[in-house]
Amino acid sequence: MSKVTLKDKTFRVHIPASDINKAVGEVAHRINIELKDKKPLFLAVLNGSFMFASDLLKKVTIDCEISFVKVSSYHGTSTTGSVKSLIGLNEDIKGRTIVIVEDIVDTGLTMEKVLKELEVMEPAEVRICTLLYKPEAFRKKFDLDYVAIVVPNDFLVGYGLDYDGLGRNLPDIYVLDN
């Protein structure tokens, strides 16, 4: 399927499934080497990372655990704007090696909130693993440890990413077709 229509918009293939698979394999390979003997706890941020987390973890061969969290957004007062907070974390992460698994880092705001919330729980270290990264949009200072694919500042869907709830099930990644 080189083009798909979701609601009122048409998208064309930007990254085929075979390229995604290769990039995910490369990230898993690095994790297998760098986090050997650390028994990392992967924290997959739902909903967007479900497909990436599944494919990644199938290629991670070291001892590890995985848990799933969400970032809930709600509107605070006019001075605080939109507030994001991490929900669903039941594990004690003190002293552990954490790998946050995200679908995409855009401005970096979401990841910054997640990092701040995890920090107070005193993990030994927190690494960031993202399928996609938009350097042109990124506005924060922290390092991204594992980036599978660098993408331009365009709106993408598929492989977990949605347009108004649709398209998460697509095996390829698509870009808006103007």
Contacts of 33 (CB under 8 A, 6+ apart): none
Query: CA angle, corner 4, sides to 6 and 163, nearest 5?
Result: 35
Closest to 44 in 3D by CA, of 83, 98, 120, 123: 98
Answer yes or no whether residue 73 interacts with ligand 5GP by CB under 6 A.
no
Query: What is the identity of the amino acid at 70?
Result: K
What track of x and - describes contact with ligand 5GP for positions 94 through 113 (by CB under 6 A)?
---------xxxxxxxxx--
Residues 37-56 that bind ligand 5GP (CB under 6 A): 48
Whether 106 is catalytic: yes
Give whichever of 40 and 167 is closer to ligand 5GP, judged by the CB atom. Answer: 167
Residues 119-158 that bind ligand 5GP (CB under 6 A): 155-157
| Shortest spacing between CB 149 and ligand 5GP, in angstroms | 12
Residues 156-175 that bind ligand 5GP (CB under 6 A): 156-157, 161-162
Answer yes or no whether residue 18 interacts with ligand 5GP by CB under 6 A.
no
| Shortest spacing between CB 16 and ligand 5GP, in angstroms | 17
Exactly one of 55, 103, 106, 145 is catalytic; which is it?
106
Give whichever of 35 and 156 is closer to ligand 5GP, judged by the CB atom. Answer: 156
| Shortest spacing between CB 92 and ligand 5GP, in angstroms | 26
Contacts of 59 (CB under 8 A, 6+ apart): 24, 25, 28, 29
| Shortest spacing between CB 177 and ligand 5GP, in angstroms | 14
Q: What span, in angstroms and rounded, lies between the C-alpha atoms of 150 and 148?
A: 7
Q: What span, in angstroms and rounded, lies between the C-alpha atoms of 132 and 136?
A: 12
DSSP calls for 5-60: EETTEEEEEEE-HHHHHHHHHHHHHHHHHHTTTS--EEEEEETTTHHHHHHHHHH-
Residues acting as catalytic residues: 106
The contact set with ligand 5GP (CB under 6 A) reads 48, 103-111, 155-157, 161-162
